Amino acid sequence: MANTSQNLSPFASFMARLNVAAEVLNLEQRFLDILSMPEKTHIVSLPVKMDDGSVKVYEGYRVIHSTVMGPSKGGIRYADYVDLDEVKALAAWMTLKCAVVGLPYGGAKGGITINPKGMSVGELERITRAYTRALKDVFGVDTDIPAPDMNTSKREMAWIANEYSRIKGAIIPGVITGKPLELGGSKGRTQATGFGVMVSCMLALKKLGIDPKQETVTCAVHGFGNVGSWAAKLMAEQGLKIVAIGDHTGAYYDENGLDIPAAFEYAAANKSLAGFTGGKAFTNEELLALEVDVLSPSALENCITLKNAKDIKARIIVEGANGPVAAEADAILNEKGIFIVPDVLANAGGVTVSYLEWCQNRFGYYYSEEEVLKMTVPMLENAFERVYEAHKKHNTPMRIAAYIVAVERLSIGITMQGEY
Ligand code: NAD
């Protein structure tokens, strides 16, 4: 999201929290310095023949933040506001996320500065293939493994897997995750991130002694794409009352609870919530400021900033999106006593199932959806528990606790590798 003078840029937000965690841990400067700078930054030019015969040149990025814990892993975002700062931050958060869950991965992220909604399917395919060719020596099963992010889905992943396999002269599905099932994707990947948001939400409720079976737990979900729609659907199935949902076209409210399966179907059929009649239309600003038990910002970065942090009334925030809270707003939310399950923990379900997809591609055997989700739950529960323990031990908010868990693991990895 475009930065404003109101809040820190996404990478500055990452650095602000990293510095706090380093201070709590009394971290050696060498670790802080290593984690403050991405290992490699690729900026590529992408000439694309448009449908009208003209040629346009777009800019693409792939930032490898860290490969200390394994090959780098992270999604690819298509949006007109994508810039290097944002991709750097998203890559760094992937490093932390993989370390928090204990996956054998480092962190990376990619992006192309385009408005995909203004392009035809053919143009999108050509730009995706151009991006793959430009990064053919960066991507690799054992080097750097992309995945979907905003405005990319299994369709783009299939194009990338196909282009990469053509270039390498072999079928290499494990170079990318989030693929269609027919092309080596994993069952359970589509809903994985929303599933993880739901699991994190239930764990947070349990820690706070709130039982949705005994009392009404209200919830608002900001963003209704892959993450938000699945999170809302699965939280509703757990008995939470979803009173508000919203996307870039607007927001909808019903104090008695929205019909989430209907909204889910509507958004899938219409590509957005525009025109949804199942609730009273209101604004995303109003949604974020609702007095609810759980708020799940699942759209994009910097939705809660210095400007609106004082208005937030939720008891718990479960971050489906990456970086939805600008670092400058942390103090205000902490002051209010809001329990925040940070992005690197709350939305880690996606990369966890991506890891299982990569494993399945490597050994050529495929699990049922039930098996995938059964393996995912304990990984997320363990991560939550470790972060919660660090939160208690260091008396820090859950976000800083998550940074602490990740940085401790990464410091051990860096030390064991030797040299530095
Ligand atoms: P998506 O493109 O499927 O959906 C994005 C949603 O956000 C859409 O509903 C869109 O309308 C909404 N949105 C965009 N701008 C908005 C605005 N200004 N106000 C309100 N809503 C707005 O993307 P996604 O995959 O659901 O990703 C959402 C967030 O989750 C991103 O921060 C992404 O990095 C993060 N994330 C995604 C995954 C994944 O597996 N897809 C994994 C981890 C984290």
Instruction: Give 12: exposed, middle or buried? Use CB within 10 Å, 0-12, 13-18, 19+.
Output: middle
Residue 419 lies inside a defined structural domain of this protein: no
User: Using CA atoms, how far apart are residues 143 and 39, in angstroms rounded to an integer?
Assistant: 13
pLDDT, position 293:
98
Is 349's C-beta closer than 6 angstroms to any atom of ligand 1? no
Residue 125 lies inside a defined structural domain of this protein: yes
Question: In CATH, what number is assigned to the domain containing residue 312?
Answer: 3.40.50.720
User: Looking at 329, 346, 363, which one is the last position of a domain?
Assistant: 346
pLDDT, position 7:
67
Q: Are residues 309 and 271 in the same domain?
A: yes
Q: Are residues 64 and 165 in the same domain?
A: yes
Is 225's C-beta closer than 6 angstroms to any atom of ligand 1? yes
Is 152's C-beta closer than 6 angstroms to any atom of ligand 1? no
The residue segments making up the domain with residue 253 are 192-346
Q: Where are the beta strands (DSSP E) in 136-290?
A: 144-148, 218-222, 241-247, 250-253, 280-282
Report the DSSP pairing between strands 144-148 and 218-222: unpaired
Q: Are residues 116 and 226 in the same domain?
A: no
Q: Are residues 65 and 207 in the same domain?
A: no
Residue 142 lies inside a defined structural domain of this protein: yes
Q: Per-residue confidence of the chain (420 residues) as pLDDT tens digits?
A: 444 445 688 999 999 999 999 999 999 999 999 999 999 999 999 999 999 999 999 999 999 999 999 999 999 999 999 999 999 999 999 999 999 999 999 999 999 999 999 999 999 999 999 999 999 999 999 999 999 999 999 999 999 999 999 999 999 999 999 999 999 999 999 999 999 999 999 999 999 999 999 999 999 999 999 999 999 999 999 999 999 999 999 999 999 999 999 999 999 999 999 999 999 999 999 999 999 999 999 998 899 999 999 999 999 999 999 999 999 999 999 999 999 999 999 999 999 999 999 999 999 999 999 999 999 999 999 999 999 999 999 999 999 999 999 999 999 999 999 887
Residue 401 lies inside a defined structural domain of this protein: no
Residue 332 lies inside a defined structural domain of this protein: yes
User: Looking at 291, 318, 346, which one is the last position of a domain?
Assistant: 346
Q: Are residues 283 and 164 in the same domain?
A: no
Q: Whose CA is nearest to atom 17 of ligand 1?
A: 248
Tell me which residues are annotated as active site: 109
Taking Cα atoms as reference points, which of 322, 319, 321, 338 lies closest to residue 330? 338
Residue 106 lies inside a defined structural domain of this protein: yes
Q: Are residues 54 and 168 in the same domain?
A: yes
Residue whose pair of structure tokens reads 């299994």 in the numeric block = 154
Residue 152 lies inside a defined structural domain of this protein: yes
Q: Are residues 207 and 340 in the same domain?
A: yes
Residue 394 lies inside a defined structural domain of this protein: no
Question: From the CA of 151, how far away is ligand 1's center (Å)?
Answer: 8
Number of domains in the chain: 2
pLDDT, position 301:
86
Question: From the CA of 171, how far away is ligand 1's center (Å)?
Answer: 30
Q: Are residues 108 and 222 in the same domain?
A: no
Taking Cα atoms as reference points, which of 402, 383, 374 lies closest to residue 103? 383
Question: In CATH, what number is assigned to the domain containing residue 166?
Answer: 3.40.50.10860
Ligand 1 atom at shortest distance from the alpha carbon of 347: 43
Q: Are residues 129 and 196 in the same domain?
A: no
